[in-house]
Amino acid sequence: MDCKEITYKLYEYIDRELGPDEVVEVEKHLHHCPECFELVRFESGVIKLVRRDCCKDQAPDALLRKIVSILRS
Ligand SMILES: [Zn+2]
């Protein structure tokens, strides 16, 4: 697996959507590639931050009402 493939699979890797074989391949690459390692570290930090802020700012029942209105329309 090269750096290009890592960038393609980055989000799936962070979201743990990759198969076990692919995870091994990604981690093997991260082990010897500081650039990709740093990229994964940075991106997963951003994703965590965005998700936390999103849930904090949005009241769950407001979101639920929005989903229900979408489903009804
Ligand atoms: Zn790399």
pLDDT of the residue at 58? 59
**Environment class of 5 (CB within 10 Å of its CB; exposed 0-12, middle 13-18, buried 19+):** middle
**Domain range list for the chain:** 3-72
What is the pTM (predicted TM-score) of this model?
Answer: 0.66
pLDDT tens sequence across 8-59: 999 899 989 999 999 999 999 999 999 999 999 999 988 887 777 766 665 6
Identity of the amino acid at 5: E
CB 1 within 8 A of CB 25: yes
CA of 5 to the centre of ligand 1 (A): 9
CA of 6 to the centre of ligand 1 (A): 7
pLDDT of the residue at 65? 79
Helix (H, G, I), strand (E, B) or coil at 34: helix
pLDDT of the residue at 41? 93
pLDDT of the residue at 48? 80
Give the environment of ion ligand 1: residues with CB less than 5 A: 3, 33, 36
CB 1 within 8 A of CB 29: yes
